[in-house]
Amino acid sequence: DTEVTQTPKHLVMGMTNKKSLKCEQHMGHRAMYWYKQKAKKPPELMFVYSYEKLSINESVPSRFSPECPNSSLLNLHLHALQPEDSALYLCASSPAPAAATNEKLFFGSGTQLSVL
């Protein structure tokens, strides 16, 4: 099993809604990531969890709130988003923190988010 599973695949929400994106991996990976990707742009790092602890927050607005309940799960809680937050949100995992150990990233298929 080499998959990173993300749900939902598509999400439409209003600016007053609260929603959550979910990510799951069962490869025993100890580092998990959230990336944001706009059309025709590269993925931008948002958060890194290393051994279930938040290790990197790329100055992401507080309307995005990550959570790592256990080593297999990563959530991204969304509240009061803006239309410019519409993007593809990608979850990734690696056996250990990738940048420190030359590990590759395994990406989920993403959640396409539209904020109205």
Partner 1 sequence: RKEVEQDPGPFNVPEGATVAFNCTYSNSASQSFFWYRQDCRKEPKLLMSVYSSGNEDGRFTAQLNRASQYISLLIRDSKLSDSATYLCVVTGGGNKLTFGTGTQLKVEL
Binding site for partner 1 (CB under 8 A): 41-45, 48, 56, 88, 90, 97-100, 102, 104-110, 112
Q: Which is nearer to partner 1, 16 or 39 (CB)?
A: 39
Question: At which residue do the structure tokens 């803006």 appear?
Answer: 82
Q: Shortest Cβ distance from residue 53 to partner 1 (Å)? A: 15
Lookup: tokens for 87: 């993007």
| Minimum distance from residue 50 beta carbon to partner 1 (Å) | 11
Which pair of tokens denotes residue 80?
């009061």
Count Cα neighbours of 108 within 13 Å in the Cβ-side half-sphere. Answer: 30
- Rounded to 5 degrees, φ, ψ at 92 are -140, 160
Instruction: For the CB of residue 107, give the shortest distance to partner 1 in the complex, in Å.
Output: 4
